[in-house]
């Protein structure tokens, strides 16, 4: 089989890495990919949103299955275009992908069908939004409704912070059209976690849970990012969390989309909060999470290609998971998620342990040197029998890459360790 993976980040590197393990896969192409994937896939210099050229390439190379990583091409309708040409592709169609493209749409859908989420109001008028913030008080959450690469969310602990975030989105237009509509919602208290599921119409197959770290700095300080690290499993959550999340959120959402004439096919990602009232939705994404994919796929014992191929053909995949824990730490360019420099040398990759998983995101190779080429540079992950070992080993490996050009959080997984410590005492 020949597979085309669309995208260029760490998530796509993890997809390529896992697909390459399948005995069914003879050849993988990555468009556009990155230099870190080059040992596993042939890089194709076609942009993610150049649908005409991607379709022509898939036909020319007789691609058996295309897998879409990032949200932008999904939201713009790449699946609809490929299917119209009779090409097999894994991902949701444009109308279903709106669950990520518009937070306002997602919130209204949840409101209509009684899917638990934070109380909210949607605004297109900055003055009305500001008045609501004054009325509701803080802490409060301000979200750009459109796509903002995971950065269009502000968790404001004071009214001053809330008004500043609102002004950044609606007046300064930091996120362009994505911030023309904002969702202002209740601040939820609880344990945050990520649940991804394979979906085919009314069939839903959950993956293992993970926890992402959105804030840039240790102690959950600093601005929101696309994610600074993740780990799986999430042992501080109660045993019933997966079943409760499936019963009250994932399955009802899939059924709601069907009722709305937007049948879902692909990976549905739910960012959730386990509250005193059970699970509530923070956000939905229409694709594999990043960086959650980099810690979830290493726990997948099953053949990923077989899983996707089975789903594309309307059948139920067999999913088996390793009991091992995985922790992944993101190295980011100094200044991320704001202004950062590219072309800084990354030192230490050659001294990492051979068991360490490295998923490149914003890197390039020039004259045998690895250089930074994006905000999130790469992720190092470790797999171990228990979570504490995975966390400690991932941090140790990240330290080998530390420099004045990159930074990383040294507390990825700390909530799990704190919970374990509290149980012991």
At residue 425, the pLDDT reads: 46
Q: Do residues 30 and 41 touch, judged by C-beta distance below 8 A?
A: yes
Residue 254 and residue 258: Cα distance in Å, rounded? 6
CB-based contacts of 201, cutoff 8 Å, min separation 6: 258, 263, 264, 265
Q: Which residues contact 127 (CB under 8 A, 6 or more apart)?
A: none
The reported pLDDT for the residue numbered 202 is 87
| pLDDT attached to residue 151 | 80
Per-residue pLDDT of the chain (425 residues; tens, 9 = 90+): 999 999 999 999 999 999 999 999 999 999 999 999 999 999 999 999 999 999 999 999 999 999 999 999 999 999 999 999 999 999 999 999 999 999 999 999 999 999 999 999 999 999 999 999 999 999 999 999 998 877 888 899 999 999 999 999 999 999 999 899 999 999 999 999 999 999 998 899 999 999 999 999 999 999 989 999 999 999 999 999 999 999 999 999 999 999 999 999 999 999 999 999 999 999 999 999 999 999 999 999 999 999 999 999 999 999 999 999 999 999 999 999 999 999 999 999 999 999 999 999 999 999 999 999 999 999 999 999 999 999 999 999 999 998 889 999 999 999 898 876 666 54
DSSP 92-123: --HHHHHHHH-HHHHHHHHHHHT--B--EEEE
Q: Domains of the chain, with CATH numbers?
A: 2-94 (3.40.50.20), 125-180 (3.30.1490.20), 191-312 (3.30.470.20), 325-424 (3.90.600.10)
pLDDT score, position 320: 98
Give pLDDT, residue 421.
Answer: 62
- The pLDDT assigned to 150 comes to 73
Helices 94-101 and 103-113, axial angle in degrees (round to 10): 100
Give every CB contact of residue 422 below 8 A, 6+ residues apart in sequence: none
What is d(CA 31, CA 68) in angstroms, rounded to the nearest whole number? Answer: 10
The C-alpha atoms of residue 360 and residue 8 are separated, in whole angstroms, by 9
């Amino acid at each position: 089989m020949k597979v085309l993976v669309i995208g260029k980040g760490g998530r796509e590197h993890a997809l390529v890495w896992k697909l390459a393990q399948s005995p069914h896969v003879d050849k993988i192409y990555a468009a556009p990919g990155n230099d870190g994937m080059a040992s596993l896939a042939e890089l194709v210099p076609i942009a993610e949103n150049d649908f005409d050229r991607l379709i022509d390439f898939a036909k020319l190379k007789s691609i058996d299955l295309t897998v879409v990583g990032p949200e932008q091409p999904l939201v713009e309708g790449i699946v609809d275009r490929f299917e119209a040409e009779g090409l097999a592709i894994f991902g949701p169609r444009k109308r279903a992908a709106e669950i990520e493209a518009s937070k306002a749409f997602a919130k209204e859908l949840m409101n209509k069908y009684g899917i638990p989420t934070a109380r909210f109001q949607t605004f297109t008028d900055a003055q009305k939004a500001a008045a609501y913030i004054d009325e509701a008080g803080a802490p409060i959450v301000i979200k750009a409704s459109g796509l903002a690469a995971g950065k269009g969310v502000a968790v404001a602990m004071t009214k001053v912070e809330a008004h500043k975030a609102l002004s950044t989105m609606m007046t300064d237009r930091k996120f362009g059209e994505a911030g023309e509509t904002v969702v202002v919602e209740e601040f939820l208290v609880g344990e945050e976690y990520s649940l991804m599921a394979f979906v085919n119409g009314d069939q839903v197959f959950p993956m293992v849970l993970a926890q992402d770290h959105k804030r840039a700095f240790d102690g959950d300080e600093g601005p929101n990012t696309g994610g600074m690290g993740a780990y799986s499993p999430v042992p501080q959550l109660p045993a019933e969390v997966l079943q409760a999340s499936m019963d009250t959120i994932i399955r009802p959402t899939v059924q709601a989309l069907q009722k709305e004439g937007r049948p879902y096919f692909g990976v549905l990602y739910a960012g959730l909060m386990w509250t005193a009232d059970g699970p509530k939705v923070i956000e939905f994404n229409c694709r594999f999470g990043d960086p959650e994919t980099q810690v979830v796929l290493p726990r997948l014992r099953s053949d990923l290609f077989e899983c996707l191929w089975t789903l594309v053909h309307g059948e139920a995949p067999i999913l088996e998971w390793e009991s091992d824990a995985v922790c992944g730490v993101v190295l980011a360019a100094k200044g991320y998620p704001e202004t950062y420099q590219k072309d800084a040398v990354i030192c230490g990759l050659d001294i990492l342990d051979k068991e360490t998983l490295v998923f490149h995101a914003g890197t390039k190779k020039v004259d045998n040197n690895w250089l930074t080429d994006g905000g999130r540079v790469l992720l190092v992950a470790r797999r171990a029998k228990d979570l504490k070992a995975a966390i400690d080993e991932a941090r140790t490996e990240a330290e080998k890459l530390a420099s004045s050009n990159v930074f990383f959080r040294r507390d990825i997984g700390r909530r799990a360790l704190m919970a374990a410590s509290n149980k012991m005492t």
